[in-house]
Chains A and B, each alone.
Chain A
């Protein structure tokens, strides 16, 4: 674990999620999509949250923001942001935090800007909501500065344009500008900010994130299913599977020695240079994420797909064990598996 990360954790955290559970109401009862999640994000830290589609990443983010879809419901837990409990605050107070001190960059730049409104209108509206004291002329000036900052060219002309006149990369830059325009963001949630972009633009946007995170001294919760993005930007990683956090670790530790079989599987299924010669097939994790509406099983939620399953895995859900400084793993067998993996890696 790096010194930075240790320092970040010892200070009072920007975001502290404890025991958060979220469920969807369905006709046949509640479907739990986020289960007992603990997550801590220190000031100035970039935490990557990885997981497959449907593992509950975005719902977790929306729970933090207080913008869950209407059919979703928080079953329990607490979300502390800079000391205050977001779950206990009146919704109007949480609303005033959104876009001001907590901001989100949405997943889909193509659809997350309002097609009927000009770019300038959408940027200045955030100021209108959170900074009514700023005059409307100054708002436009701020909007241009912000577009410059996120690397949008011809910024003053863009204000008069509509979203459909911009490319995907530009729209994502505009979305980032909207998230940061108030200038007081402490927690930025980036929900798959580069998934919809092609690789070159993706690299540019990630660079922009890293640069802004440093200059604005924000904490960033970076949600993605792309481990490459995590490796490039995050300091710590939380791996989510079927609504649970299964492993948390410093990014270097996680890539060097994953402890959970699921994390292991994810990393193994990444193509790496040098490995091609040995194997003709890229390994993959058999099966798929259990549907959240399937009956809740007693044991480990990953057991069905796990190559190292033993009897206890079907009987008892594993707790999130501490596995070294700043690391935790939700697996009954992490200790003996780690030793085994180390031997295998030595052979490879």
Chain B
């Protein structure tokens, strides 16, 4: 499962990086004559209502989507794991961290993201911030729960009684128990980041036009769904593809990081 997911994700990245080398890419070139053309050899995925090449826009859009998702997930991982471990170990810090992260969790996800973007204004960086704020509480809670579950476990007690320091116990003995669920959360967060980014740009809150985004392309294609359905099918398919590959990776990681299933595979 993991290898299938990784293969699919690699293909998506290759598509994003290599397509510009194979075909001329011009996501912004407007041509009134070429508008709403069906797929052909000149325009492999057709053209949109302004005559822009759909393939070019899709490729540049994947770049934006993946960049946002990677940045947001990296931030979520760093702060989520760090804050989760600290708040699991130290009750005084936990009070503050948990109150804040819990109060973020009470908002329905997309509503919170819309609020953040409405306050900060639509831009690529702000989408990253919104997705980060949306997903970091889940990672904090996952890591914190694992730390609390294991901080008084016999094996932690044993490590401590053989001279391991608090930091060593936290990082080398407790955290490995949290890696599995954290990885699953992060890969789900990654795929949700792509969905949220698409949703936000669909609503016009993502990277502002004329930057081509997957969500923005679907949004623009709504009016032409009867006359030019390819405009909607291509970005819809690539979003599905990206999310599927990341969910496969998440499931695969969970299986791999569970020592029991790993031993059974040996």
Interface residue ranges, A against B (CB under 8 Å): 62, 65, 67, 69, 92, 95-100, 103-104, 106-108, 111-117, 125-126, 129-130, 162, 164-165, 175, 178-179
Chain B residue with the shortest CB-CB distance to A191: B161
Inter-chain contacts of B157 with A (CB < 8 A): 67, 106, 112
Inter-chain contacts of A111 with B (CB < 8 A): 153-155
Inter-chain contacts of B152 with A (CB < 8 A): 69
Contact A179 to B260, CB < 8 A, known contacts A111-B154, A112-B157: no
Contact A99 to B162, CB < 8 A, known contacts A111-B154, A114-B173: yes
Contact A99 to B263, CB < 8 A, known contacts A114-B176, A116-B177, A125-B172: no
- Alpha-carbon gap, A115 to B153, bound state (A): 11
Name the residue in A108, A113, A125 with the highest tally of chain B Cβ atoms < 10 Å from its Cβ. Answer: A125
Whole-angstrom distance between the Cβ of A22 and the nearest chain B Cβ: 16
Chain B residue with the shortest CB-CB distance to A161: B263
Interface residue ranges, B against A (CB under 8 Å): 152-165, 168, 172-173, 176-177, 179, 259-260, 263
Chain B residue with the shortest CB-CB distance to A111: B154
Inter-chain contacts of A96 with B (CB < 8 A): 163
Inter-chain contacts of B168 with A (CB < 8 A): 129
Inter-chain contacts of B263 with A (CB < 8 A): 162, 164-165
Whole-angstrom distance between the Cβ of A57 and the nearest chain B Cβ: 15
Contact A126 to B163, CB < 8 A, known contacts A114-B173, A116-B176, A164-B260: yes
Which residue of B161, B176, B259 is within 8 Å of A164 (Cβ)? B259
- Alpha-carbon gap, A100 to B155, bound state (A): 18
Inter-chain contacts of A106 with B (CB < 8 A): 154, 157-158, 161
Could you jot down 28 A-B contacts, CB within 8 Å?
Answer: A67-B160, A67-B161, A96-B163, A98-B161, A98-B163, A99-B161, A104-B158, A106-B154, A106-B157, A106-B158, A111-B155, A112-B155, A112-B158, A113-B155, A114-B173, A115-B177, A115-B259, A116-B176, A125-B159, A125-B164, A126-B162, A129-B162, A130-B163, A162-B259, A164-B263, A165-B263, A175-B158, A179-B162
- Alpha-carbon gap, A115 to B154, bound state (A): 11
- Alpha-carbon gap, A250 to B214, bound state (A): 82
Chain A residue with the shortest CB-CB distance to B164: A129
Q: 7 tightest A-B contacts by CB?
A: A99-B162, A99-B163, A116-B176, A111-B154, A98-B163, A112-B158, A114-B155
- Alpha-carbon gap, A111 to B157, bound state (A): 10
Inter-chain contacts of B161 with A (CB < 8 A): 62, 65, 67, 98-99, 103-104, 106
For the complex with contacts A96-B163, A112-B154, A129-B164, 9 further pairs of A-B residues with Cβ separation under 8 Å are A92-B165, A98-B160, A99-B163, A111-B155, A116-B179, A125-B172, A126-B162, A162-B259, A164-B259
Inter-chain contacts of B177 with A (CB < 8 A): 115-116
- Alpha-carbon gap, A69 to B151, bound state (A): 11
Chain A residue with the shortest CB-CB distance to B259: A162
Inter-chain contacts of B260 with A (CB < 8 A): 164
Name the residue in B162, B163, B173 with the highest tally of chain A Cβ atoms < 10 Å from its Cβ. Answer: B162
Interface majority SS (helix, strand, loop, mixed), chain B? helix
- Alpha-carbon gap, A104 to B159, bound state (A): 10
Name the residue in B153, B161, B165, B177 with the highest tally of chain A Cβ atoms < 10 Å from its Cβ. Answer: B161
Evaluate contact between B162 and A178: CB separation under 8 angstroms.
yes
Inter-chain contacts of A117 with B (CB < 8 A): 172-173, 176
Which residue of B160, B162, B164, B259 is within 8 Å of A116 (Cβ)? B259
Whole-angstrom distance between the Cβ of A12 and the nearest chain B Cβ: 24
Evaluate contact between A108 and B163: CB separation under 8 angstroms.
no
- Alpha-carbon gap, A125 to B165, bound state (A): 12
Whole-angstrom distance between the Cβ of B143 and the nearest chain A Cβ: 14
- Alpha-carbon gap, A112 to B154, bound state (A): 5
Whole-angstrom distance between the Cβ of B4 and the nearest chain A Cβ: 26
Whole-angstrom distance between the Cβ of A86 and the nearest chain B Cβ: 13
- Alpha-carbon gap, A178 to B160, bound state (A): 12
- Alpha-carbon gap, A175 to B152, bound state (A): 18
Chain B residue with the shortest CB-CB distance to A92: B165
- Alpha-carbon gap, A291 to B172, bound state (A): 37
Name the residue in A62, A129, A179 with the highest tally of chain B Cβ atoms < 10 Å from its Cβ. Answer: A129
Inter-chain contacts of B154 with A (CB < 8 A): 106-108, 111-112
- Alpha-carbon gap, A175 to B154, bound state (A): 12
Whole-angstrom distance between the Cβ of B169 and the nearest chain A Cβ: 10
Chain A residue with the shortest CB-CB distance to B177: A116
Chain A residue with the shortest CB-CB distance to B153: A111
Name the residue in A108, A116, A125, A130 with the highest tally of chain B Cβ atoms < 10 Å from its Cβ. Answer: A116
Inter-chain contacts of B259 with A (CB < 8 A): 115-116, 162, 164
Which residue of B155, B158, B163, B172 is within 8 Å of A95 (Cβ)? B163
Whole-angstrom distance between the Cβ of B148 and the nearest chain A Cβ: 12
Inter-chain contacts of B153 with A (CB < 8 A): 111
- Alpha-carbon gap, A175 to B163, bound state (A): 14
Evaluate contact between A115 and B155: CB separation under 8 angstroms.
yes
- Alpha-carbon gap, A117 to B177, bound state (A): 9
- Alpha-carbon gap, A62 to B165, bound state (A): 16
- Alpha-carbon gap, A179 to B163, bound state (A): 10
Contact A129 to B163, CB < 8 A, known contacts A115-B259, A116-B176, A117-B173: yes
Chain A residue with the shortest CB-CB distance to B172: A125
Inter-chain contacts of A108 with B (CB < 8 A): 154
Inter-chain contacts of B172 with A (CB < 8 A): 117, 125
Whole-angstrom distance between the Cβ of A165 and the nearest chain B Cβ: 6
Inter-chain contacts of A130 with B (CB < 8 A): 163
- Alpha-carbon gap, A129 to B259, bound state (A): 25
